[in-house]
Amino acid sequence: MKIISYNVNGIRGALAKGFIPWLKATKADIVCLQEIKATPDQVDVEPFRKMGYEMFWMPAEKKGYSGVALFTKLKPSKIVLGCSLDIYDKEGRVIRADFDGFSVMSVYMPSGSRGDDRQTFKIQWLADFKDHIDSLSLKSRLVICGDFNICHHPMDIHNPTANKYSPGFLPAEREWLGRFLENGFIDTFRYFNKNPHHYTWWSYRAGARRKNLGWRIDYALAGIQLERRLKRASILHQAVHSDHCPVLLELQ
């Protein structure tokens, strides 16, 4: 079973760059999207239906901003929109689908890069998100996919020294992610690949992607009960519909 997570940085822009034929070729069973920046009525959803996807959307209240979605070929037993906290739900940060034996969440975490107020917002989000996950009885069989806007280790960012005080690589953020993983989750990409220079986001400036000057901020985390089902995890860096690239997780 293939699960793909992708911050598309605007689904309408991604569609204009060949997203549909690319997605069809992946044969993904479940697709988690972040930063969709659209509502379903603004998108031609028929190509997704023809591929067999049932679509669930959690757009932001603000037009052209944030938002997550989850497309699935498997029939979910339950869909949960948001995390029951209006301050985040109005920004379209979380959507979850429950299936037989496991659940999948698409999450778009705040970046904190637009000033001190948003960084403060991000730190509060991190605390509240952990509390939300800890409250779930299905936590140990949950796959959390999405843009975390955090690089965990120095090997996850192209220049850790210069970015020491950059939002997304701040000590408090990295420590939070470490504690989150220790509390029952597996960074599936690192489970299979311990090598540096693997990134999921590149600035549009100065040819950063061509030079591979990136950040690994997109993850597929698996609850510990799913460890025996992990088959493969990879970064699909050749997909160029966004300033991010997708991450892939395969489960037995």
| Sole residue written with tokens 């100065």 | 206
Host H or E run for residue 134? helix 116-134
Q: Distance (Å, rounded) from C-alpha 82 to C-alpha 68? A: 10
The three-class DSSP label of residue 190 is helix
| φ and ψ at residue 205, rounded to 5 degrees | -85, 150
CA distance 64 to 35: 9
Residue 100 tokens read as 């037989």
Question: How many Å apart are CA 34 and CA 30, to the nearest integer?
Answer: 13
Alpha carbon distance 202, 211 (integer Å): 9
Decide: 67 and 57 in contact? Cβ < 8 Å: yes
Active site residues: 147
Chain length of the chain: 252
